[in-house]
Amino acid sequence: MTDPYYQDDFVTLWHGDCLELADVWTVADVLVTDPPYGIGWSKGQNNAAGSTAHAGIQNDADTTTRDAALVAWGATRPAVVFGSFRAPFPAGVRQTLVWRKPVDAGVVGSTTGYRTDTELVFLLGDHPRRPPQRSSVLVSNGGVAAYRTEHPHSKPPALLEGLMAWLPGTIADPFAGSGSTLVAAKALGRRAIGVELEERYCEIAARRLSQDVLDFGDPA
């Protein structure tokens, strides 16, 4: 096995196929990930909307890669998995949350007058039993510029921090993208292990993590 692409006192990031590197991330306690949804997403150039073309996400033609990673993770440990209304749900969903994006999200590609500004968040595995204190609608205010990276599906670190705050232990993200889950975990003083297939996104994640030099105290 090669050395990690990036490592500090909290975060280890590996470059490669998460299914081939399952031994490095399945040792964690909690899965928080934004996998390929299985919707064959791509985006064309739209000068009027200020958007650039994107050829799509690797392994996004169907849910095979997502589902294989969830099998590797197992059915009992807690998992928080982002997904789409337009793809089959993963097996064993305990509850489904809805993320309502900021007011300027979901404009590109919308033709009905309604923005495509929501995504699903699946809770799988064994989550602690708690009284119903939180809404299942997760809200992100502000604008997308506050969390946008060069990865087209980046998520707000604050959203991820809220999702992982109730779940103790080391975080795993086998589809790390530009590193938002890892950045959120580090902000909480949590240990995290990430894997990313595309090196250009590993580079972005490493840069974000190396710029985030804070004293968090003892890691959880």
* 3-state SS record for 190-212: CCEEEEECCHHHHHHHHHHHHHC
Q: What pLDDT score was predicted for residue 220?
A: 33
Q: Find the mean pLDDT for residues 11-16.
A: 98
Which candidate, 8, 6, 12, places its Cα nearest to that of 28?
12
Q: What pLDDT score was predicted for residue 80?
A: 98
**Can you list the domains of the chain with their CATH numbers?**
6-211 (3.40.50.150)
Based on its alpha-carbon atoms, the radius of gyration of the chain, rounded to whole angstroms, reads 17
Least confident of 29-33, 36-40, 199-203: 36-40
Q: How confident is the model at residue 148 (pLDDT cuts 50, 70, 90)?
A: confident
DSSP annotation string for 49-61 = TTB--B---TT-S
Find the DSSP H helices in the chain. 22-25, 64-73, 157-164, 180-187, 199-211
Whether the Cβ atoms of residue 201 and residue 210 lie closer than 8 Å to each other: no
Q: What pLDDT score was predicted for residue 40?
A: 73
Q: Cα–Cα distances in Å, from 32 out to 39, 69, 92, 142, 214?
A: 20, 12, 16, 23, 22
C-alpha distance across the termini of the chain, in Å: 27
Give the single-character DSSP code of 178: T
List pLDDT tens digits, range 54-105: 556 788 888 999 999 999 999 999 999 999 999 999 999 999 999 999 888 8
Give the single-character DSSP code of 87: S
Q: What pLDDT score was predicted for residue 1?
A: 67
Q: What pLDDT score was predicted for residue 13?
A: 98
Whether the Cβ atoms of residue 14 and residue 197 lie closer than 8 Å to each other: no
Judged by phi (left if over 0) then psi (alpha if -120 to 50, else beta), residue 203 lies in alpha
